Structure 1
Amino acid sequence: MLFDRYFLLSFLKLFFTVSAVSVFLVSLYALLDFMLGFKEKDAWVGVKYFLLLIPLSFYYAGPALLALSLVLFLKRLVEKKVDLVVQSFALPPLRLALPLISFALLLSLLFLAGNQLLFPVLSSELWRLEKTYKKKQEAGGIVRNFWFLKEEKGRLSYYFVESLDLKRGTAFNFRRFRVSYPFMTPEELLKVESGLWRGERLLVLKGVRYDFTKGLREVLENRSLKTGLTARDVELFAERLEFLPLSYLYELFRKSKLVGASGEVYLGELLYRAAFSFLPFVLSVFLVKEFLKLRSLPKVLIKLAVLLPLLWSLALMPKLLAQKGAKSPLWALPPQAVVFLFLLKSFHDLRKGFRV
């Protein structure tokens, strides 16, 4: 309909204006950070830093930017009594809100696709750029619960270190899981309870190695194994979970179950990214429903101040449970299911309408 097109275009102008202001602020931050925080003032490094930062900032700030745009747009709509005019023609509020909710759903789907195709690559490049050129980014201290990846010829090696002292080289609960690439077929699993990292070699004090290609199990004691990188290289050449696309996370979760290893951390990251991607859609439904029902900016802002951090916390819960709490990320599903039920209730209210 012509009205839908005009309605959506009006909102998009506001949304992109708010986003442009956000991009401008991020640009100022990038410029100041580059001038003050980087060891090397090469122009190309600064441009690359800026280009990497902008899309990632939009992704992480996207739910808040959409919420702010919706509040400003709906405030203007309510002031002009457009919602009352629409309901006077016996049309439900959902009919009025459909273009806004549809755009929010499209944005969520784009975020989900970006988690597979774009954002992991950008995050990896940005992290490496900062580790290479920013001041005070040298590796040091103790690394805890650190996951990383090393790509070799025809294989990928996924590492986990529960505790690694980068200065002394002491490592506890070290894991190396090798798979063939691109078929992701398990080849080897190395479990080390304790060891000493010296140069590119790890002295395994106590551990075990499983060779899946030959069906062998080997107990290791005081054995020196080549790792291909030094302990001090770990941070600089690391590939963290945030840098893996969704398909890799799923494959690692599935393969880890096949070899008897815990895959909860992969599942937690996967569920977190999926939930965060759909925050714009969930927020849009709740905000539209509350604004058209209450028709009061202060009341809606109070609810938004509670709703935004609550939804963000629920999206983050699977990741925190798996990586920090050593619990199954599936424990986050019951509270998320409650949010889903409230989402259905909001759709029902929008379809039914409100008394005016």
Structure 2
Amino acid sequence: MLGKYVLFFYIKLFIVVNAILLGIVSSYALAELLFLFKEKSANIAISYLLNLLPISFFYLLPFSAVITMMILLKHIFSKKLDLIVQSFGVSPLKFLLNIILFLVFVSFFNLIMSFDVYPESNKNLYSIEKEFKKRQEVEDLIVRNAWFFKEESGERIYINFQFVDIKDGNIAGVFLVKSSKSNILEVIQSDRGSWKGDIILLPIAKVWNIKEGNFVAKGISIKLFEIKNAQPIGEKVEHISLHQLLLLYSLGKRVGLNYHLYLSEIIRRFLSSLSPIAIGITVMSYAIKRRSILAGFLSFVPAFFFYWFSFVLTRFFSESVSFNPLYGLFAYIPLVILSLKGLYYLGKGFRV
């Protein structure tokens, strides 16, 4: 019965804390809209907030969960509920198990949402900023499964790319059709290549000359247009659904592109979604072990550091040094140890 009371109290606090944090985010967003956007309207503001708030909830969960837990534990300590429970021989783990299960539920909810919903919100948010913000920065973008068209000297070129990395110019899955009037003149297919300036370089391409009826495999170059012109349809890896990330990872591995970038994004989504469990258990155990809210907040610092360091390291390895981003998880091991140690403390009892 006491466990249910604690759970309901925690959920009410959790809602209030998140409402306050998201209210702060909303205020900042509205100020940004007022001063940094070229166009200001109620529709833009509503659309901006509706896409920003889910993303904010996702990334602020470690903070909101811990703040809520500290408020709850302060209430428990002030009412001496922990001492009452201890007198009946009930371990802290059993007493607060519902809180941990609630964190597990919210974390897995976030994980499921990170497959499709959060990436779509991120993409919508980016589109709004790109269209209405006054100052724009050039960012790392990719293009997926896009068709481009060019007409020159009476010939039409239709070219499709499965993948284009606008930052480094790597391309994959090239399919080109050259036609004149209603006649197809040439078909070109290549697994990989590069796009430098307005030139596409294909080291190995299959070329079918329809008019002459022959086929050759050779390296060719194609003049198209500047790669920067593809930016309007570009996406960031944060905008891509988990299903598409897995497809791009498979494609990149097959044709020799930097597939580590897509693996790192998958890892980062799992880290962001599930870390509140490990961080929450660590903070809870230290606060209860020392019966001190300050000890709980102090334990949050290293716990969050290990999570964030691993989060950053997985992307750094994939982008900067082309290492397997799984190596970034080594920085996460101390947090796993802290949380397992915390579970041990919680299961053993208050006086350790």
TM-score normalised by the shorter chain: which range applies?
0.7 to 0.9
Report matched runs for 1:272-311 at 5 Å. Answer: 272-311=268-307
Question: For residue 30 of structure 1, what is the amino acid of its counterpart?
Answer: A
Three-state SS of the structure 2 residue aligned to 1:148 is: strand
1:245 equivalent in alignment to 2:241: yes
How many residues are paired up?
322
Match of 1:157 in 2: 162
Question: Are 1:128 and 2:127 counterparts?
Answer: yes
Matched, 1:236 2:232: yes
**Residue 347 (structure 2) aligns with:** 351
Gap change, CA 1:40 and 1:91, over 3 Å in 2: same
Q: Please name the residue that 2:197 is paired with.
A: 196
The structural deviation recorded for 1:316 is: 2.9
- 1:36 to 1:276, Cα distance in 2 relative to 1, 3 A: same
The equivalent of 1:170 in structure 2 is none
What's the counterpart of residue 315 of structure 1? 311
Aligned residue type for 2:62? P
1:36 corresponds in structure 2 to 35
Question: Is the 2:206–2:217 Cα contact (8 Å) retained in structure 1?
Answer: yes
Quote the offset at 1:242 in angstroms.
Answer: 0.5
Give the aligned partner of residue 91 of structure 2: 92
1:331 pairs, out of 327, 330, 342, with 327
The alignment partner of 1:278 has SS state of helix
SS of structure 2 residue aligned to 1:135: coil
Encode CA deviations 1:317-342: one digit per residue, 9 max, x unaligned: 21221123322112123332343233
Q: Distance in 2 between matches of 1:196 and 1:28?
A: 42
User: What secondary structure does 1:116 align onto?
Assistant: coil
1:25 deviates by 1.3
Q: Deviations over 1:246-278 (max 9, x none)?
A: 222122222322333331111111111111111
Q: Which runs of 4+ in 1 moved over 6 A?
A: none
State the secondary structure of the residue aligned to 2:197: strand
The whole-number CA distance in structure 2 between the counterparts of 1:62 and 1:216 is 57
Taking structure 1 as the reference length, the TM-score comes to 0.82
TM-score of the aligned structures, taking structure 2 as reference length: 0.82
Residue identity over aligned pairs, in percent, reads: 25
Q: 1: distance between equivalents of 2:229 and 2:74? A: 53
Give 1:211 shift. 5.7
Structure 1 residues 216 and 101: alpha-carbon distance in aligned structure 2, compared to 1, 3 A threshold = farther
**1:174-193, aligned counterparts within 5 Å?**
174-178=169-173, 188-192=190-194
Structure 2: segments with no counterpart, 5+ residues = 149-159, 176-188, 208-214
Give the conservation status (yes or no) of the 8 Å contact 1:160–1:176.
yes
* Partner of residue 59, structure 2: 60
The Cα of 1:6 is off from its aligned counterpart by 1.6
* Greater Cα radius of gyration, structure 1 or 2: 2
Unaligned stretches of 5+ in structure 1? Answer: 164-173, 181-186, 198-202
CA deviation string 1:128-179 (max 9, x = no partner): 1110011122x76xx6x643335459x872211444xxxxxxxxxx222239
Contact 1:276 1:316 in 2 (8 A): no
- Distance in 2 separating the partners of 1:156 and 1:220: 16
